[in-house]
């Protein structure tokens, strides 16, 4: 007789962390949807009356375009992090999460530099108030994402992110992708359409 040992099947965990993150991210997206609706409505009213929305030359394309390129690349590195965790590739997961966080910090740095460069006070006009509120809220969103990635990196260094425990990385990736989409709307609606 052969002796066979049966190990109990690993229970299929419900993805409550990913679902909770998806619900919270949906709330953030609804907040930005409301801000964008107000912004586009007020801008359309101003354009219909023939008034200037932003002062001439205040909104320039290169800083917004550079931030968009940075955010697009960070979405790729975030997908790399998820792929690496799923495949138990610890070195690449460390690298991918660190690069994504650095890109988030670079985007924040570029935005702060741009706001200092345009030298418009927040109360200059309704348009500048909207600009500071929308972009500032997005900066807060990216800052939360960078903080989350920092915690994930510490967790990964502790050996806790494996293919069996990938929900936290997947949840962070969902949030990060939402931040990229929000910036895409900012880039198209504010920096390009002015």
pLDDT of res. 85: 87
Residue 4 lies in a domain: no
- CA of 112: how far to CAs of 59, 62, 93, in Å? 14, 14, 29
pLDDT-based confidence at residue 116 (cuts at 50, 70, 90):
confident
Interval 4-35: pLDDT, tens: 666 666 656 667 888 999 999 999 999 999 99
68-101 pLDDT, tens per residue?
A: 999 999 999 999 999 998 888 888 988 999 999 9
Sign for the CA dihedral angle at 30, 33, 37, 38 comes to: positive
Q: Are 35 and 137 in contact (CB under 8 A)?
A: yes
Does the residue 80 lie in any domain?
yes
For the chain, the domain total comes to 1
Which residues are within 8 A (CB) of 181 and not within 5 positions of it... i.e. 6 or more apart? Answer: 29
10 inside domain: no
- Number of Cβ within 10 Å of residue 65's Cβ equals 13
> What is the span of the domain harbouring residue 32?
16-49+63-192
Longest pairwise C-alpha distance within the chain: 91
Please say whether the beta carbons of 111 and 60 come within 8 A: no
What is the C-alpha radius of gyration for the chain, rounded to an integer number of angstroms? Answer: 21
User: CA 104: distance to chain centroid?
Assistant: 8
- Domain membership of residue 58 (yes or no) is no
- Output the domain CATH number for residue 32: 1.20.120.80
166 in any annotated domain: yes
Is there a contact between 18 and 178 (Cβ–Cβ < 8 Å)?
Answer: no
pTM: 0.86
Q: What is the mean pLDDT of the chain?
A: 87
Residue 164 lies in a domain: yes
Asked if residue 55 is part of any domain, the answer here is no
Question: Is 113 within the bounds of a domain?
Answer: yes
**Tally of residues, the chain:** 194
């Amino acid at each position: 007789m052969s002796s066979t040992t049966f190990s109990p099947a690993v229970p299929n965990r419900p993805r409550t962390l990913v679902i909770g993150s998806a619900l919270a991210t949906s709330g953030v997206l609804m907040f930005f949807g409301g801000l964008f609706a107000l912004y586009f409505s007020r801008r359309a009213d101003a354009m219909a009356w023939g008034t200037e929305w932003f002062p001439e030359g205040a909104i320039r394309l290169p800083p917004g375009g550079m931030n968009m390129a940075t955010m697009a690349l960070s979405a790729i590195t975030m997908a790399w992090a998820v792929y690496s965790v799923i495949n138990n590739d610890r070195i690449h997961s460390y690298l991918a999460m660190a690069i994504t966080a650095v890109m988030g910090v670079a985007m924040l740095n570029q935005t702060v530099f741009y706001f200092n460069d345009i030298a418009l006070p927040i109360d200059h006009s309704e348009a500048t108030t909207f600009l500071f509120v929308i972009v500032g809220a997005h900066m807060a969103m990216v800052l939360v994402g960078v903080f989350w990635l920092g915690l994930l990196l510490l967790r990964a260094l502790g050996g806790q992110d494996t293919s069996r425990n990938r929900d936290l990385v997947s949840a962070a990736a969902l949030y990060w992708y939402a931040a990229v989409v929000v910036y895409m709307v900012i880039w198209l609606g504010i920096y390009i359409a002015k």
